[in-house]
Chains A and B, each alone.
Chain A
Amino acid sequence: MATNPGKLLQSSRRDFLKGTAAVATILIAPGIFLYKTGQAAAGLEREARWGMLIDTNALSEADVDACVSACQREHGWQTAEGSRTDAQWVRKLRLEEPETGHQKFLPMMCQHCESPPCVDVCPTGASFKRADGIVLVDRHTCIGCRYCMMACPYKARSFIHENLKDQLPVAPRGKGTVESCTMCVHRVDRDGADAVPACAEAVNRNDSKAILFGNLNDPQSEISRRLRELGGTRLRADMGLNPGVRYQGL
């Protein structure tokens, strides 16, 4: 933070107010409904670009499974075995080197591209990139044309093929619209740079951070430091989409 004083100045007042509001919530209203104090959430940080660094060497097959089920629990989606129509926000990919037979497992989800083809092709603008780089579908305006699914190079998106019930409050989802990984945007809005997406929470034990969430725009952030030191692979880098999700160990 200190390295970027301009940014700090710019956002400090707003953040200060938000911080105060949060304090007020604790002090004044324990257990009472106080509707005007809803500003506790951090909200969207316009200067940030959120990303994730996934260290495939630190992930066993069971870890990747844990990522997937954590995401399912968090957002309330399920996939029946062998289903072609059920949604998969994140999936376990097995990569095998043909010569050696060596296998790797990694979680594959929306890569939150900087120049997302899904956003470019969406006729209504329902596919959009937030100011902080998270790519979402606004399900209120999605017409279900599936053009974005055709355009995504990572097959990251799912169409909801049937009526749903019992959706979770944090992840509204319904028939006839398209969805994908949100980078746990509800956690990001609450916790800002300290957010831990559900998949990361499932695999990060003690100090190991097999999935590291952070701000790619902040050179001091851990993710930027690690990328600087160890590098990270952009999938299909040839397409120049600059995904926000990077992989190590590929």
Chain B
Amino acid sequence: MQSSIRYAEIRTSSPGYWGILIALFAVALLGVAGAHHMDVEGHHVSGMSNQIVWGLPHVFAIFLIVAASGALNIASLASVFARQDYKPLARFSAILSVALLVGGLAILLLDLGRPERLIVAMTQYNFKSIFAWNIILYTGFVVIVVAYLWLMMERRMQRWSKPAGLVAFLWRLVLTTGTGSIFGFLVAREAFDSALLAPLFIIMSFAFGLAIFILLLMLSFWLDQRELDGSHLQRLRKLLGIFIAAVLYFVVVFHLTKLYGTQNHGFERFILMDGGIYTTLFWLVQIGLGSLLPLALIYAPPLQDSAKSLVAACLLVIVGAFAQLYIIIIGGQAYPLNIFPGYIVASSFFDGVVAEYTPSLWEFLLGFGGLTAALLIAMLVLRVLPIMPEALRAESG
């Protein structure tokens, strides 16, 4: 039955296609330039400081890494959960997840204070550090998914693709848990002190990864003028709706459990009520634009068949994702540490005050550079390997 699917490289030579590739390449280059500038000058040219030590690049990087593991979902559904209707898209799912991960890791690497010491990070491990584990998890993920992809694409090997898919699926769950735990281990910071962070990250990865997946799928089919039947989009649309709702549910539970413990009231108040930019981002962007509006776009009966509304929903999910990660990562640092409960604290090191942060141009460049590098990798692979099905017709599954 698999043999009924025919895959092909993207062949278009339309100006639009090349224009997109060139634009992606240009932005990726700018990203490298931005990183280089920060490396040569030092991080004082960024908006980051001794208070906000992880900034916008980390928001982009975590977004990409989280989305990477989510992008693998479609392949997992096909291989692990035997959903034949997702089978034609499994290859693309695997490629996209590797590309996103590489983009995210590139940002993390280039933001290091000493990026030229990558060799140290690769050879000296502190096995107590979740970071060190993540380096192994990430490289392992790339290796496993590439192997999985090869098994899927090599006809004689296809019977092995199912176990490989299972390994990849389990690995990605661990990987996202590991990513979430980067923050979960920071017990001193109220924002991150929650066991729910890891599962929240897993569910976030489902939604973010699928949103990017749908967008790129539609884009490449449209560019190459391939047939994409509405039934396939409908299926993905429902899936996305479920994931968005699940994230929303988890966010509510997350904040409710935090509100349950009195010691976190200060921080919850900060995010939910008087945190300025963070409160705005939370209600307006993460909840409003990033969750409720896409849900409406997906489920509202008059829009049900509109491809445009699906595109809009995906874009909004991504916007909401950035807001959510910004709140978690930056907001979590902006809120002051409580070293002396019961006292009013002041110092030259910004103790006791909400830390300010304004991302600089260089950080935007690096962040967008990593994002576009990921998309560029995915698009290029689509051109050189038969990843995408020639057409997704009504009964192709």
Contacts and interface: CB of A to CB of B under 8 A. Distances in A.
The judgment on whether A and B are partners is yes
A25 interface: no
Nearest to A99: B342
A127 to B, nearest CB: 8
A183 B69 CA distance: 43
B301 to A, nearest CB: 46
A162 B41 CA distance: 6
A159 B53 contact: yes
A158 to B, nearest CB: 5
B167 to A, nearest CB: 25
Contacts of B41: 162-163
A180 to B, nearest CB: 11
A1 B219 CA distance: 76
Interface stretch (B44-52, B88-96, B282-290, B311-319): B44-52
B339 A154 contact: yes
A155 B353 CA distance: 13
A88 interface: yes
A143 B129 contact: no
Interface in B37-59: 39, 41-44, 48-51, 53-54
Interface string B9-53: 000000000000000000000000000000101111000111101
B125 A98 contact: no
B51 A163 contact: no
A242 to B, nearest CB: 15
Interface string B117-138: 1101100111011111001000
Contacts of B262: none
A15 to B, nearest CB: 32
A160 interface: yes
A84 B44 CA distance: 9
A161 B42 contact: yes
Given A122-B126, A153-B339, A146 B54 contact: yes
Interface in B238-279: none
B345 interface: yes
B344 A96 contact: yes
A95 B113 contact: no
A152 B188 contact: yes
A85 B188 contact: no
Contacts of B124: 124-125, 141
A239 B188 contact: yes
Nearest to A80: B348
Interface string A77-117: 00101101111100111111110000000001000000001
B232 to A, nearest CB: 41
Nearest to A146: B53
Interface string A114-143: 000101111111000000000000000111
Given A163-B42, A235-B339, A236-B188, A120 B128 contact: yes
A84 B53 CA distance: 11
Nearest to A142: B114
B299 interface: no
A170 interface: no
A151 interface: yes
23 contacts: A85-B44, A85-B50, A91-B349, A93-B345, A93-B347, A93-B351, A95-B343, A96-B343, A121-B128, A121-B130, A121-B186, A124-B124, A141-B117, A143-B113, A143-B120, A144-B114, A146-B54, A151-B185, A151-B188, A153-B187, A153-B337, A155-B339, A176-B112
- Closest CB pairs A-B (n = 3): A144-B113, A176-B113, A153-B188
